[in-house]
């Protein structure tokens, strides 16, 4: 009989950091009788949902190979009395009965099953999902159309007759142990297994764009990649990497926050979900307070424009304009070399608080080189605004 501990997500709730930490700690975990094995370190056992016919990331043949390797690694290292630990955002939407099929592909006899889930308040999750969506699309779900039935998903696990425990944690710094997802997961593992000495290395994998960068990214995809909505593109990926590199030491722009209008609509649409979760899991307290705002606005269809700036509380239009001057698509003159507008934009960004010169210059230089603006990149270096950085590999 094999015991399973299954971390089912949810997405945008620290899974990448948790999975990186678990992968790094797998030898220590094995010494404690906990087996964590995966052929894809960055995604845990995400691909295992292919065993029940669910689609997942990447080409089907590659996913099949990842799944085969992961199963082989787990089975080869599984010892009597071991606890198998699985982690995958993809598990969140899998009904318990189907999840049992996945577990039985690893070990036919299941002795105990403990479920771990992290959830966010609806407005927080909505904003995070919107940012993620814009990385591969020019459109996003409007506030009045966003309802995520976390209550139904978690209720199914709580009532499943094969489940021994369901631990649901609020993914919010104020509610996590030490304000950290990995530290919190470490404590949950200790509580479930009774092993107080378990330790996981700290890891932070999350990256975020500023409100202004979100606006520029959406405008870029709308102008140049509209036909690729729903798909990642090297062009937009290079822009995202540039922004993330800029933000390495300090966010270039405002931290994204929903406007009172957008937050109120999301909170109202998900009020029943939050109420149900509170009853099902009394220790779980999600923030779903709808803010007050001027004017008459309710759950009527979202009538504002499709621009993401319309759901954001703060967005500096001037900074948006400067960031756009660094994008060759919007500034084709960069193909011939540095422009005065681009130089002004860089200098403006360098004057923002908390940003680091090396990170900004390195990010822009490498973005321009990847975008076919090598001369502009050379001229940027010639300005000697700060110490040069080595090229980013890849």
Q: What's residue 292's pLDDT?
A: 67
Q: Report residue 271 as tokens.
A: 């009020």
Q: Report residue 206 as tokens.
A: 């999350």
Candidates 370, 368, 315; CA nearest to 342 is 368
Q: What is the DSSP letter of 215?
A: H
Least reliable range by pLDDT among 29-33, 78-82, 206-210, 337-341: 206-210
- Residue 128: phi and psi, rounded to 5, are -65, -40
Reported confidence tier of residue 205, pLDDT bands at 50, 70, 90: low
Place of tokens 């969140």: 92
Reported confidence tier of residue 390, pLDDT bands at 50, 70, 90: low
**CATH 3.40.50 domain span(s) along the chain:** 2-193
According to CATH, the topology of domain 2-193 is: Rossmann fold (3.40.50)
CA 273 to CA 254: how far, in whole Å? 30
Reported confidence tier of residue 393, pLDDT bands at 50, 70, 90: very low
Q: What's residue 293's pLDDT?
A: 57
Candidates 112, 184, 170, 374; CA nearest to 288 is 170
**Which residue has better confidence, 297 or 375?**
375
| Mean pLDDT confidence for 80-86 | 96
Counting Cβ atoms within 10 Å, is residue 222 exposed (0-12), middle (13-18) or buried (19+)?
A: middle
pTM, 2 dp: 0.91
Name the average pLDDT for the chain: 93
Q: What's residue 219's pLDDT?
A: 98
Alpha-carbon distance values, 178 to 8, 26, 122, 267, 275 (Å): 22, 22, 22, 27, 27
Reported confidence tier of residue 391, pLDDT bands at 50, 70, 90: low
- Residue 305 burial (CB count, 10 A): 8
**Which residue has better confidence, 383 or 88?**
88
Spatial neighbors of 143 by CB under 8 A, at least 6 apart, are: 126, 258, 261, 262, 265, 266, 269, 302, 311
∠ Cα 230 148 232 (to 5°)? 15
CA 181 to CA 95: how far, in whole Å? 25
Inter-residue contact 138 to 221 (CB < 8 Å): yes
Side by side, the strands of the sheet bearing 165-170 are 34-35, 83-87, 2-7, 110-119, 165-170
Strand pairing of 110-119 and 165-170?
parallel
CA 52 to CA 71: how far, in whole Å? 14
Of the chain, the percentage scoring pLDDT greater than 90 comes to 85
DSSP line for 333-372: GGGGS--HHHHHHHHHHHTSTT--HHHHHHHHHHHHHHTT
Alpha-carbon distance values, 295 to 192, 268, 291, 292 (Å): 49, 16, 12, 10
Q: Report residue 177 as tokens.
A: 């142990």
Please, what's the b/e burial string for 80-90 (b: 16 or more CB within 10 A of its CB; e: otherwise)?
eebbbbbbbbb
Alpha-carbon distance values, 274 to 90, 167, 287, 289, 353 (Å): 22, 16, 8, 10, 37
Write the pLDDT tens digit of every residue in 136-189: 999 999 999 999 999 999 999 999 999 999 999 999 999 999 999 999 999 999
Determine the distance from the C-alpha atom of residue 348 to the mean position of all C-alpha atoms in its chain, rounded to a whole number. 29
Inter-residue contact 254 to 90 (CB < 8 Å): no
- Residue 242 burial (CB count, 10 A): 25
Write the pLDDT tens digit of every residue in 93-102: 999 999 999 9
Write the pLDDT tens digit of every residue in 215-254: 999 999 999 999 999 999 999 999 999 999 999 988 999 9
Cα Rg of the chain, angstroms: 23
| Mean pLDDT confidence for 314-321 | 98
Q: What's residue 394's pLDDT?
A: 45
pLDDT at 38 over 90: yes
Establish whether the linkage from the previous residue to 377 is cis, with ω within 30° of 0: no
């Amino acid at each position: 009989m094999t015991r399973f501990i299954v971390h089912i997500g949810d997405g945008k709730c620290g899974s990448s950091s948790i999975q990186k930490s678990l992968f790094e700690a797998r030898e220590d975990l094995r010494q404690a009788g906990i087996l964590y094995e995966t052929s894809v370190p960055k995604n845990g056992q995400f691909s295992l949902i292919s065993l029940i016919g669910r689609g997942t990331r990447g080409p089907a043949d590659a996913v099949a190979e990842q799944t085969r390797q992961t199963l082989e690694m787990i089975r080869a290292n599984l010892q009597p009395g071991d606890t198998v630990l699985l982690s995958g955002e993809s598990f969140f939407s899998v009904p318990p009965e189907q999840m049992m099929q996945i577990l039985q592909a690893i070990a036919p006899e299941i002795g105990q099953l403990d479920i771990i889930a992290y959830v966010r308040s609806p407005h927080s999750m909505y904003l995070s999902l919107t940012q993620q969506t814009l990385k591969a699309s020019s459109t996003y779900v409007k506030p009045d159309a966003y309802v995520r039935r976390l209550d139904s998903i978690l209720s199914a696990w709580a009532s499943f007759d094969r489940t021994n425990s369901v631990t649901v944690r609020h993914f919010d710094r104020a509610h996590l142990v030490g304000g950290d997802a990995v530290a919190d997961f470490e404590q949950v593992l200790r509580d479930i297994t009774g092993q107080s000495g378990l330790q996981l290395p700290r890891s932070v994998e999350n990256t975020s764009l500023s409100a202004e960068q979100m606006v520029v990214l959406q405008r870029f995809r709308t102008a140049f990649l509209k036909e690729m909505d729903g798909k990642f593109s090297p062009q937009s990926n290079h822009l995202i990497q540039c922004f993330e590199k800029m933000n390495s030491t300090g966010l270039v722009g405002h931290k994204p926050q929903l406007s009172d209008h957008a937050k109120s609509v999301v909170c109202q649409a998900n009020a029943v979900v939050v109420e149900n979760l509170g009853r099902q899991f009394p220790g779980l307290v999600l923030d779903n307070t709808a803010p007050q705002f001027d004017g008459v606005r309710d759950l009527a269809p979202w009538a504002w424009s499709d621009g993401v700036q319309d759901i954001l509380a703060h967005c500096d239009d001037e900074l948006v304009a400067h960031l756009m001057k660094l994008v060759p698509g919007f500034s084709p003159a960069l193909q011939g070399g540095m422009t005065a507008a681009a130089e002004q934009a860089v200098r403006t960004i360098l004057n923002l608080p908390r940003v680091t010169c090396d990170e900004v210059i390195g990010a822009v230089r490498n973005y321009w080189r990847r975008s076919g603006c090598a001369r502009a990149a050379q001229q940027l270096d010639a300005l000697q605004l700060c110490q040069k950085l080595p090229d980013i590999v890849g």
